[in-house]
């Protein structure tokens, strides 16, 4: 009994394959009725199906496939031609065959149903082109087709070895093994666990001095690597697994819209991860329906436009730089940009003034907005407003992107960029309240370390929404700890913020995390139903140390935060926002000279701060010099040259701080009394109403006046002094940099 079940399961699998194949072949045959090889294929497929269903005594299946086979026999013999009517009936038959198979799988018996009408129609069609319409009956059709009968015999001879292949060892033909996808997933799971176990083993072997042990570990290491690579390859499947359904889809949709479409497929052998393949099926179906329903014109209009009556729809897939490019191209009317504009206005998605400034690319972006449809009426094909936004989301969820270009009257070109595999995803590791979370890297536009020198951390409140300035844009902020209801230390003034700028349906927002760790490729673990209701998380992964880390669902967080609603009620108008004057900050060294406190010099003007023993100071004429860094350095006593500097008696400190600097290739040391601080101040100086000697101006810092040294002036005075012994009152020299 169990054996019977097993064989039946195999039969069901085979029957499904045949039926799927038939779908494709019927449509192809309809396009090119002269293709004899196709007729043969279809005929053989149906015949196998009929034979096997007889074996399992599935009467309905047998009768129906027999009727189809009879009609095809006629076509093959050239006695009838496959036209639209016939292929519609044959496809109908195919659908019923599929239903029967589904029923057999579920209940192990054929579902009840009466196919007599269809059988009669099929047989009727096979008779219709004969001179004398014979009675419609299966038994009568057969004798009239001696050719078919011969074929049947030969087929039956062929079949037994096919079934008995397992019992004939030594045969050279290797039959591919069909594996249940679940088994594959489990194997994959074990392979990645193996990698983790290996990771735990590696440190031991590095510490060990046992040669045998280390070499054993090394071979485990290599084998695990190979195992992982092979597992990855095993998951890859050619894209024709989903494309196979499309000829039928295109035919049905085109028939429903009254359009004539020919589907061309290029690169059907392009391989993709199995899971990805599943998740691009629905978006592709949607795009194809869209193309046929919206872009491609009816045959009359096409003729009017001077195009061929038959429209082309091209599906193209190819590998490109580690991604898979899938394109859907049609030669229809393309996107009606004016209609998109009007629609966006009438749906209130954008303002009228704004709408007229949009270029084509921006108009295409509107198509991706939720609730957008240019259809006036709802058809069962499109126009329900669940459309391109869902397609876009689906594609982005698997780390892909979508790009549409359209030329009026030449067609639409949709390009999907899909990663090769979903199983491995580069993610950013962030820390929040001592927990590690992962953000998919493809969602991150940029990472910002935000460190404004302001008490409110540079966060501005915009109608209750915290925002920050990123270049010329106001970006709303979400705090990850708040979103996840984690307790963490409140923000300290002037604390640096780590912000990941993310994109949610075109709205940028910043997610504030406590710490950014690293970017790493991770293996996504299926969570199943585990976190079904946790919209904040997209999945989980197991880290190298065996711990589980959660992957954040960027969309879920954005949606749950209510940010989007808040922004809709109070949209941030980037162009109207207040522009703060850019305050450039510079670092200055704060020091004292005799008689004057708080003198500053830009930090980048100073090379070193050294302490100088008075014993090291030597005389060179009337100059004080020091041998420093194998160079002769002029000592400049600032108090001599700066207004307000008091000439203290030569009771200089034994070890005075000296600031060394370069000016016109010469080394100078500025003798000061004390170095006090390094501070950040606005670069803009307050000009002094009466110029002060040796000073550039002043800076107000914490309500205190800080004098900024005019180094150039001081050094010029220092050098003039050598020659003329005369101190000019004020020298203000303009020297181009």
Name the site residues for another protein (rule: CB under 8 A).
Answer: 189-190, 192-193, 196, 435, 484-486, 525-534, 536-537, 540, 542, 546-550
CA distance linking residue 627 with residue 524, whole number of Å: 65
Q: How far is the CB of 545 from another protein (least distance, A)?
A: 9
SS (H, E, C) 50-79: HHHHHHCCCHHHHHHHHHHHHHHHHHHCCC
What distance in Å separates the CA atoms of residue 713 and residue 72, rounded to the nearest whole number? 103
Tokens (6 digits) for 83: 């036209």
Minimum distance between the CB of residue 276 and another protein, rounded to whole angstroms?
21
What is the closest distance, in whole angstroms, from the C-beta atom of residue 527 to another protein in the complex?
6
Of the pair 146, 546, the CB lying nearest another protein is at: 546
**Least CB distance to another protein at residue 543 (A):** 9
Measured over the CA atoms of residue 284, residue 286, residue 290 and residue 296, the dihedral's sign is positive
**What are the residues facing 419 on neighbouring strands?**
323
Question: How crowded is the C-beta side of 486, counted as CA atoms within 13 Å?
Answer: 18
CA-closest candidate to residue 25, choices 8, 5, 45: 45
**Of 78 and 528, which has the nearer Cβ to another protein?**
528
Structure tokens that stand for 217 in this block: 């570990």
- Please tell me the number of Cα atoms within 13 Å of 202 on its side-chain side: 11
CB of 105 or CB of 435, closer to another protein: 435
**φ and ψ at residue 498, rounded to 5 degrees:** -100, 120
Decide the pairing of beta strands 695-701 and 704-709.
antiparallel
Distance CA 168, CA 281 (A): 40
Q: How far is the CB of 528 from another protein (least distance, A)?
A: 8
Q: Output the CA torsion sign for 700, 702, 704, 707.
A: negative
CA angle, residues 338, 343, 347, in degrees to nearest 5: 155
Nearer of residues 492 and 532 to another protein, judged by Cβ: 532
**Cβ closer to another protein: 139 or 545?**
545
Distance of alpha carbon 502 from alpha carbon 483, whole angstroms: 15
Q: How far is the CB of 185 from another protein (least distance, A)?
A: 11
Query: Rounded to the nearest whole angstrom, what is the least distance from the CB of residue 513 to another protein in the complex?
Result: 13
Q: Which CB atom, from 182 or from 703, has the smaller least distance to another protein?
A: 182
Q: How far is the CB of 537 from another protein (least distance, A)?
A: 7
Residue 189 CB, nearest approach to another protein (Å): 5
**Distance in Å, CB of 425 to another protein, minimum:** 16
Distance CA 665, CA 611 (A): 22
Min dist. Cβ of residue 322 to another protein (A) = 26
The count of other CB atoms within 10 Å of the CB of residue 133 is 10
Q: Is 34 helix (H, G, I), strand (E, B) or coil?
A: coil
Least separation, in Å, of the C-beta of 530 and another protein?
A: 6
| Type and span of the H or E element at 418 | strand 411-419
Q: Minimum distance between the CB of residue 187 and another protein, rounded to whole angstroms? A: 11
Give a three-class secondary structure readout of 241-291: HHHCCHHHHHHHHHHHHCCCEEEEEECCCCEEEHHHHHHHHHHHHHHHHHH
Of 530 and 683, the one with the shorter C-beta distance to another protein is 530
For the chain, give the number of residues.
737
Taking the complex as a whole, how short is the minimal distance between the CB of residue 444 and another protein, in angstroms? 20
HSE, CB side, 13 Å, CA atoms: give it for residue 581. 6
State the minimum distance, in angstroms, from the CB of residue 485 to another protein. Answer: 6
- Residue 419: phi, psi to the nearest 5? -65, 155
CB of 86 to another protein, least distance (A): 46
* Residue with smaller CB distance to another protein, 349 or 486: 486
From CA 214, how far away is CA 220, in angstroms rounded? 10
Structure token pair of residue 570 = 């109070």
Minimum CB distance to another protein, residue 547 (Å): 6
Query: Are the beta carbons of 85 and 45 closer than 8 angstroms?
Result: no
Q: Which residues contact 497 (CB under 8 A, 6 or more apart)?
A: 448, 449, 450, 451, 457, 458, 459, 468, 491, 512
**Nearer Cβ to another protein (487/702):** 487
Q: Which is nearer to another protein, 136 or 187 (CB)?
A: 187
* Closest CB to another protein among residues 557, 659: 557
Closer residue to another protein in complex, CB, 110/553: 553
Closer to another protein by CB, 401 or 481: give it. 481
Choice between 195 and 717, CB closer to another protein:
195
Residue (of 72, 24, 28, 27) closest to 46 by Cα position:
72
* Sign of the CA dihedral with 13 first, then 398, 315, and 30 last: positive
Q: Which helix (H) or strand (E) holds 4?
A: helix 2-31
Query: Toward another protein, which CB reaches closer, 249 or 423?
Result: 423
In the complex with another protein, the residue whose CB is nearer, 162 or 529, is 529
Which is nearest to 491 in space by CA: 459, 446, 449?
459
Nearest-angstrom CA–CA distance, 27 and 41: 13
Pick between residue 43 and residue 537 the one whose CB is nearest to another protein: 537
Of 407 and 534, the one with the shorter C-beta distance to another protein is 534
For β-strands 311-320 and 261-266, DSSP reports them as parallel
Query: What's the distance, CA 512 to chain centroid?
Result: 21
Smallest separation (angstroms) from another protein to the CB of 188? 9
Distances in Å between the Cα of 551 and the Cα atoms of 275, 395, 400, 479, 542 are 18, 18, 17, 16, 11
Query: Phi and psi of 214, rounded to 5°?
Result: -65, -35
């Amino acid at each position: 009994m169990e054996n019977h079940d097993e064989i039946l399961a195999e039969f069901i699998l085979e029957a499904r394959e045949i039926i799927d194949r038939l779908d494709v072949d019927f449509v192809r045959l309809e396009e090119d009725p002269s293709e004899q090889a196709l007729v043969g294929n279809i005929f053989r497929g149906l015949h196998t199906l009929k034979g096997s269903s007889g074996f399992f005594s599935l009467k309905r299946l047998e009768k129906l496939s027999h009727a189809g086979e009879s009609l095809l026999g006629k076509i093959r013999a050239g006695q009838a031609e496959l036209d639209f009517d016939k292929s519609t009936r044959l496809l109908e038959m195919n659908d019923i065959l599929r239903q029967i198979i589904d029923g057999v799988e579920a209940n192990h018996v054929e579902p009840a149903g009466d196919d007599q009408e269809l059988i009669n129609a099929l047989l009727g069609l096979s008779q219709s082109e004969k001179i004398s319409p014979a009675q419609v009956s299966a038994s009568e059709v057969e004798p009239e087709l001696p050719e078919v009968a011969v074929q049947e015999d030969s087929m039956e001879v062929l079949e037994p070895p096919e079934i008995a292949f397992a019992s004939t060892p030594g045969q050279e033909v290797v039959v591919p093994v069909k594996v249940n996808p679940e088994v594959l997933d489990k194997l994959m799971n074990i392979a990645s666990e193996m990698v983790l176990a290996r990771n735990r083993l590696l440190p031991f072997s590095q510490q060990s001095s046992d040669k045998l042990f280390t070499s054993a570990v090394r071979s485990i290491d290599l084998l695990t690597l190979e195992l992982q690579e092979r597992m990855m390859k095993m998951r890859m499947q050619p894209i024709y697994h989903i494309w196979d359904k499309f000829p039928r889809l295109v035919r049905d949709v085109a028939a429903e819209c009254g359009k004539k479409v020919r589907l061309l497929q290029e690169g059907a052998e392009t391989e993709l991860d199995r899971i990805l393949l599943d998740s691009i099926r629905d978006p592709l179906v949607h795009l194809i329906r869209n193309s046929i329903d919206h872009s491609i014109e009816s045959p009359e209009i096409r003729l009017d436009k001077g195009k061929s009556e038959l429209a082309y729809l091209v599906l193209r897939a190819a590998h490109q730089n580690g991604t898979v490019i899938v394109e859907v191209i049609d030669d229809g009317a393309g996107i009606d940009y004016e209609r998109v504009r009007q629609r966006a206005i009438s749906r209130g998605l954008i303002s009228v003034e704004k709408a007229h400034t949009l270029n084509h690319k921006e108009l295409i972006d509107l198509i991706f907005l939720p609730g957008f449809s240019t259809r006036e009426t709802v058809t069962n094909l499109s126009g329900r407003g669940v459309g391109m936004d869902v397609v876009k989301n689906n594609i982005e969820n698997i780390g892909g992107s979508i790009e549409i270009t359209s030329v009026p009257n030449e067609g639409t070109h949709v390009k999907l960029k899909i990663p090769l595999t979903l199983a491995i995803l580069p993610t950013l590791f962030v820390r929040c309240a001592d927990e590690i979370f992962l953000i998919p890297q493809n969602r991150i536009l940029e990472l910002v370390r935000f460190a404004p020198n302001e008490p409110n951390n540079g966060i501005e409140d915009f109608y209750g929404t915290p925002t920050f300035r990123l270049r010329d844009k106001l970006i709303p902020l979400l705090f990850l700890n708040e979103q996840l209801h984690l307790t963490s230390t409140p923000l300290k003034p002037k604390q640096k913020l780590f912000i990941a700028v993310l994109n949610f349906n075109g709205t940028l927002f910043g997610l504030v995390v406590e710490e950014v760790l690293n970017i790493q490729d991770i293996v996504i673990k299926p969570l199943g139903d585990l976190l079904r209701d946790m919209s904040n998380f997209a999945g989980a992964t197991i880290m190298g140390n065996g711990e589980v880390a959660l992957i954040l669902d960027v969309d879920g967080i954005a949606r749950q935060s209510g940010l989007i609603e808040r922004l809709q009620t109070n949209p941030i108008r980037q162009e109207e926002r207040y522009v703060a004057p850019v305050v450039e900050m510079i670092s200055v060294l704060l020091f004292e000279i005799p008689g004057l406190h708080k003198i500053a010099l830009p930090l980048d003007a100073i090379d070193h701060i050294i302490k100088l023993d008075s014993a090291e100071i030597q005389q060179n004429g009337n100059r004080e010099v020091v041998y420093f860094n194998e160079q002769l350095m002029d000592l400049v006593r600032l108090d001599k040259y700066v207004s307000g500097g008091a000439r203290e008696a030569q009771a200089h400190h034994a070890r005075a701080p000296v600031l060394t600097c370069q000016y016109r290739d010469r080394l100078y040391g500025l003798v000061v009394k004390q170095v006090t601080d390094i501070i950040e101040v606005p670069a803009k100086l307050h000009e002094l109403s009466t110029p002060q000697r040796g000073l550039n101006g002043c800076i107000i810092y914490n309500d205190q006046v800080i004098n900024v040294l005019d180094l150039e002036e001081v050094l010029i005075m220092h050098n003039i002094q050598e020659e003329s012994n005369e101190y000019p009152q004020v020298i203000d020299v303009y020297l181009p940099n």
